[in-house]
Structure 1
Amino acid sequence: MTEAAIDIIKSQWLASLELQLGYSPYGTQLTKTKRCGPLTIQKAFYPEGRDCAHLYLLHPPAGIVSGDELQVKIDVQQSAHTLVTTPGANRFYRARTDLSIGDPKQTQVTRINLDVHAKCEHFPLETLVYNQANGVNNVEVRLHNSSVYCGWDMTCLGLPSSNENFTAGRFTQLNTLYCDDILIYHDKVLIEPESNIQHHAAGLASNTVFGTFLAYASTKQVSKEQRTQLIEQLRAIVDEHSASSLISITDIRQLLVIRYLGQQAHQCKDLFIELWKLIRPLYIEKQGVQPRIWFT
């Protein structure tokens, strides 16, 4: 191996974390953990009882730099239920431009697989994309038609409060969801210098924060009539918060797609939480009590 190749390896983190959750008479348990590099969890927590395991994904470097590649795989087996979140914001730092590091891309990929009657709630805190970053954030969900999934992502471009706007760089957010191996949702946002998506009226319209909240349950679990009524209730909550210009709600083949487009990460999170509190009792059959780590 050449010195240049060794320098590239030293300058990047290649990290992976594989988690498997199973269900037994003792409830949902973490049955397998395989990790490499600076990605880990402490343990499973049970603030709601043994049937739902709360997992906190930890990434001690607290950010992703050029050459880094993070791979997270979560396998939720039959009848198991987990809520996965993070203790803090994720960060895509400014990409390096020196050629010695090879590909300057910064990558995070999360793959979630749900078995029969499995339930997964995936709620990472916001992703901060620094000016001149070169980031890729992919979330792929594969579920059985009897499983339930609720998950969101929230992306913040630049640090406007510090007068550090996202004026140069590249970022891709890709969300895909499969049901019984059939693709039912594919959404890709690509921000790059060659496009005007940040400022075009049909793009981000000069907004710096965008988020997507997905919620899936089959018609056997949540009927079309229940879903229609739920959407009305969700829209009423949006109106109560005077956020109808910020939030849209659509129904795509049993998949609720809730989008936020605005200027404030905390506003996006607060609105998503309020909507989750309404969705969760119907989809998960539990009250929407926020994980304590969100308050720290």
Structure 2
Amino acid sequence: MLAGQFQGASNQAWLSLRFAGDQGTTRLLDRAHYGPLRVQKALYPEHVSICHAIIVHPPGGVVGGDELTIKASVDQGAHAFLTTPGAAKWYRANGKVSGQHVQLQVADAATLEWLPQETIFFDHAHVTLEHQVELQGDARYIGGEILCFGRTASGESFNGGRVSQQTSIRRDGKLVWFEQGMLDGGGAAMQSRLGLAGCTVCATLIVAGKSFPASLVQQLRDLASQLTGGKASVGATQIKSLLVLRLLGHSSELARQWMMQAWQIVRPELLGHAAHIPRIWNT
């Protein structure tokens, strides 16, 4: 990958990562970047077979016109865990659209966990998000996101702007999950029961690679009900070898607790490894 292929406007940044197995150890073999988007080093907080990497965007926020591209591939038998050091902030648009494009490739018998911290859309942000996952053979994938509309802790609502999102997951080239949507700040979809239903936080956890027993799906539903206590709407749906968990509420902290606890239930069942909470999530 050549920097010249991606260079253009000064507000463009990209990051490319490749993980591969090496006699039982997952190594970050290739790492390239352009602009303010990078991974500092590979981490092994739980076992050498699982490589953790923290994706850092030094500016701390994204302004109108910024374009972030993240590409990661995991070779056969390797296991990578990707997260971020803090919330992603998408600032008020300055007449230009900002965007993030994520492309993930997971080879047969490999695993990728994509669990960034929450995303906050400031009022009047104009953002396009694209998330593409390509799985091969028996690849396993866990992906999560928490979206916060407006800085509610500061009394701000998402009254203007637009957020467009598209997510796709393919296995051996066949589409197994696709969703897209567009939300206008202050628009009808923010109040509609078919949209945010008046909520300001939306969280999703998608697990691909196994058909889970009905008892585990019910356990996840019971956990959500106990944890949220009616303060959020939650759901768990299994579609063949795909499990989709949703939350709609008003608290990013509650959404984070729900996602961590759901992940702690699902991960051992899917991967045979206990869920090791990254230390960066507690700082």
User: Which residue of the partner structure matches residue 66 of structure 1?
Assistant: 64
1:227 CA displacement? 2.8
Q: Could you list the per-position Cα deviations for residues 6-29 of structure 1 after superposition, in whole angstroms to 9, with x for gaps in the alignment?
A: xx94xx510000000000115100
1:234 to 217, 220, 240: 220
Query: Is 2:120 the counterpart of 1:128?
Result: yes
What stretches of structure 2 of length at least 5 have no aligned partner?
1-7
1:229 CA displacement? 2.3
Q: Structure 1 counterpart of 2:263, which letter?
A: W
Q: Given the superposition, is the C-alpha separation of residues 265 and 242 from structure 1 closer, same or farther in structure 2, using an over 3 Å criterion? A: closer
1:170 CA displacement? 0.5
Matched residues in 1 for 2:80 and 2:279: separation?
A: 15
> % of aligned pairs identical?
31
Larger radius of gyration between Structure 1 and Structure 2: 1
What stretches of structure 1 of length at least 5 have no aligned partner?
1-7, 98-103, 219-223
User: Which residue of the partner structure matches residue 169 of structure 1?
Assistant: 161
Normalised by the size of structure 1, how large is the TM-score?
0.89
Aligned length: 275
Matched residues in 1 for 2:186 and 2:274: separation?
A: 45
1:202 to 194, 197, 215: 194
CA contact (8 A) 1:106 1:134 kept: yes
Give 3-state SS (helix, strand or coil) of 1:230's partner: helix
Matched residues in 1 for 2:239 and 2:24: separation?
A: 36
Normalised by the size of structure 2, how large is the TM-score?
0.93
Matched residues in 1 for 2:271 and 2:154: separation?
A: 39
User: Which residue of the partner structure matches residue 100 of structure 1?
Assistant: none
1:242 CA displacement? 4.2
Matched residues in 1 for 2:103 and 2:13: separation?
A: 14
1:209 CA displacement? 0.6
> Superposition pairs for residues 128-167 of structure 1, below 5 Å?
128-167=120-159
CA contact (8 A) 1:184 1:253 kept: no
Q: Given the superposition, is the C-alpha separation of residues 117 and 202 from structure 1 closer, same or farther in structure 2, using an over 3 Å criterion? A: same
Matched residues in 2 for 1:87 and 1:243: separation?
A: 29
Give 3-state SS (helix, strand or coil) of 1:164's partner: coil
User: Which residue of the partner structure matches residue 263 of structure 2?
Assistant: 276
Q: Structure 1 counterpart of 2:93, which letter?
A: A
Matched residues in 1 for 2:253 and 2:260: separation?
A: 10
User: Which residue of the partner structure matches residue 294 of structure 1?
Assistant: 281
CA contact (8 A) 1:90 1:128 kept: yes
Q: Structure 2 counterpart of 1:232, which letter?
A: Q
1:195 CA displacement? 4.7
Q: Could you list the per-position Cα deviations for residues 161-206 of structure 1 after superposition, in whole angstroms to 9, with x for gaps in the alignment?
A: 2121110101112221111111111112311269511011221111
When the two chains are superposed, the root-mean-square deviation of aligned CA atoms in Å is: 1.6
Q: Given the superposition, is the C-alpha separation of residues 290 and 34 from structure 1 closer, same or farther in structure 2, using an over 3 Å criterion? A: same
Q: Given the superposition, is the C-alpha separation of residues 37 and 242 from structure 1 closer, same or farther in structure 2, using an over 3 Å criterion? A: closer
Query: Is 2:115 the counterpart of 1:117?
Result: no
Write out the 4+ residue segments of structure 1 that deviate beyond 6 Å after TM superposition.
none
Give 3-state SS (helix, strand or coil) of 2:188's partner: coil
Matched residues in 1 for 2:64 and 2:229: separation?
A: 36
Give 3-state SS (helix, strand or coil) of 1:197's partner: helix
CA contact (8 A) 2:63 2:98 kept: yes
> Superposition pairs for residues 179-194 of structure 1, below 5 Å?
179-192=171-184
Give 3-state SS (helix, strand or coil) of 2:257's partner: helix
